[in-house]
Chain A
Amino acid sequence: MNSNNKHHLDEEQLIQAVVDASDLPASVQAHLTACDQCRAGQESFAQGLVNLGQMAERLAPKPQRRIVLPVPKAKRTILSFLDWHNLVAAAATVAAVLVVVWGTNIVRDISEHSAENRTAEMIEAKRLMTEVNMLVDNALPSFYLEISGEKNADYDEKFYQFLIPSDKEENLS
């Protein structure tokens, strides 16, 4: 081999050869192929880096855990809805609906009951007011009205004229 060539690869070219020898100029590549010394330098550096990587691999710990793959989603069938999760969810939903319906009914009962009471109170108040008005018109109970003759009293204008004559007649006379 042509190890006597005076233009050996310099440090930069050796590094370049380790990175990618094909990027070197053709003449340098030809020299690298022919020169044992340069090739040995390149191979030693490259091998050192490879050995370093292998040593890192040896001195790195091994993984202790296995990879856990996610559980695939099963196709939904009618039977799959019968698992305990779904049953519990369904029971909870039904319970919630019952609580809502029951609660609404209680509220409605309470409100209806209070409305009836209010109506009864109004009727009672109206009846009392009627009695009061009747007493204002005539304080005597109906029995005494019979005795007093007030009840069926139906006096006409002539009768009142007789009792209290009008001013006109007085003036004429």
Chain B
Amino acid sequence: MAPSDKTTTASETADQLSLLVEQAKAGNRSAFAQLADRFHQDIFRMVYYRIRSRTDAEDITQDVFLKVFQKISGIKETAKFRGWIFSITLNRIRDFQRKKRFRSLFKVEDENIESHAPEQGDTDQPDALNQVLKKDFWRQIGLILNKLSNMEKEVFLLRFFDHLSINEIAGVLKKNESTVKTHLYRALAKFKNEPAMRRMLNEVNQ
């Protein structure tokens, strides 16, 4: 596809999204259902990347869409819907993590990602090898991300896992763009010097 075609398609998609948001704002249930379908996977994955529990990710995703449903009439700039929904999701994830930390004060809870047993729903690839690969991938990612500060980790995930632009990340985190770039730069600099990350990048580039 030629770059001009791509620009046109992106513009059309943005227009369609704005239209859907406008209709949903006006109370059109079908438009809201279409928005939910469009963002369901993205939001679920965003939560899963940070929580790494499918069940919790599904609960939080449902909560996010309920919140969006309640608040959509108040959204001022329909063009910023994507950033807005990611912002709501991030807040819900933080709430969840805060509650989890609070609960962990009262009971012994192993938060090590290695201890996460494969979940029942993770049977998309039934063979054991895939399960092991999947588990190992998330373990590696967890170890690498743990080397970053919270802000560096968040900016990195939003940029490369959730595919948000710098501008959108700035909106979601309520920071200016240069701050976001600084955190992203620091995260990438740490990654460049991290042998596990270099190995992983080599693997995914092959």
Chain B interface size range? 35 or more
In the complex, which residues of chain A have a beta carbon less than 8 angstroms from the beta carbon of B166?
Answer: 19-20
- Give the one of A12, A23, A52, A60 with max B CB within 10 A: A60
Q: How far is the CA of A19 from the CA of B41 in the complex (A)?
A: 26
Residues from chain A with a CB closer than 8 A to the CB of B36 are 67, 69
Segment 49-74 of A: residues with Cβ below 8 Å from B: 49-57, 59-70, 72
B188 engages A44 (CB within 8 Å): no
Contact status A70-B62, CB under 8 Å:
no
Known contacts A55-B137, A56-B141, A63-B44; A19/B188 CB under 8 A: yes
Shortest distance between the CB of A24 and any CB in chain B (Å): 12
* Assembly CA distance A56 to B205 (angstroms): 14
Which B15-42 residues have C-beta < 8 A from chain A? 29, 32-33, 36-37, 40-41
Kindly identify, within residues 158 to 183 of chain B, every residue whose CB is under 8 Å from any CB belonging to chain A: 160-161, 163, 166, 181
Shortest Cβ gap from A173 to chain B (Å): 122
Bound-state Cα–Cα, A55 to B61, Å? 21
Known A19-B188, A52-B200: A69·B40 in contact at CB below 8 Å: no
User: Complex: how many Å from CA A21 to CA B61?
Assistant: 35
The interface on chain A, measured as residues whose beta carbon lies within 8 A of the other chain's beta carbons, has a size of 34
* B124 proximal to A (CB < 8 A): yes
Most chain B Cβ neighbours within 10 Å, of A12, A18, A55, A65:
A65
Contact of B205 with A47 in the complex, beta carbons under 8 Å? yes
Q: Are B160 and A50 in contact (CB under 8 A)?
A: yes
A14 and chain B: residue at smallest CB distance: B192
In the bound complex, what is the Cα–Cα distance between A44 and B189 (angstroms)? 15
Query: What DSSP secondary structure best describes chain A's contact surface?
Result: helix
Q: In the complex, are the beta carbons of A61 and B121 less than 8 A apart?
A: yes
Neighbouring A residues of B138 by C-beta, 8 Å: 59
**B184 at interface by CB-CB < 8 Å:** yes
Out of A59, A66, A70, name the residue touching B66 (CB < 8 Å).
A70
Q: Is B61's CB under 8 angstroms from A69's CB?
A: no
Residue among A16, A47, A50, A63 with most chain B CB within 10 A: A63
The answer to whether B62 touches A60, judged by C-beta atoms less than 8 angstroms apart, is no
| B185–A60 CB distance below 8 A | no
- Are B189's CB and A12's CB within 8 A? yes
CA distance A52 to B62 in the complex (A): 27
In chain A, positions 5-29 with a C-beta closer than 8 Å to chain B are 11-12, 15-16, 18-20, 23
CB–CB B205/A51 < 8 A: yes
Contact B188 A48 (CB under 8 A): no
Interface hub of A44, A52, A55 (most chain B Cβ within 10 A)? A52
B65 engages A67 (CB within 8 Å)? yes
A40 → B minimal CB distance (Å): 12
The reply on B84 being an interface residue by CB < 8 A is: no
> B128 at the A/B interface (Cβ < 8 Å)?
no
* Distance A51 CA – B197 CA, assembled complex (angstroms): 13
Further 9 A-B residue pairs, CB within 8 A, beyond A48-B204, A53-B160, A70-B69: A15-B188, A18-B188, A51-B205, A57-B45, A60-B45, A60-B48, A61-B124, A66-B40, A67-B65
Q: Which 10 A-B pairs have the closest CB atoms?
A: A48-B201, A51-B204, A63-B44, A53-B160, A67-B36, A15-B188, A49-B160, A61-B54, A67-B65, A61-B122
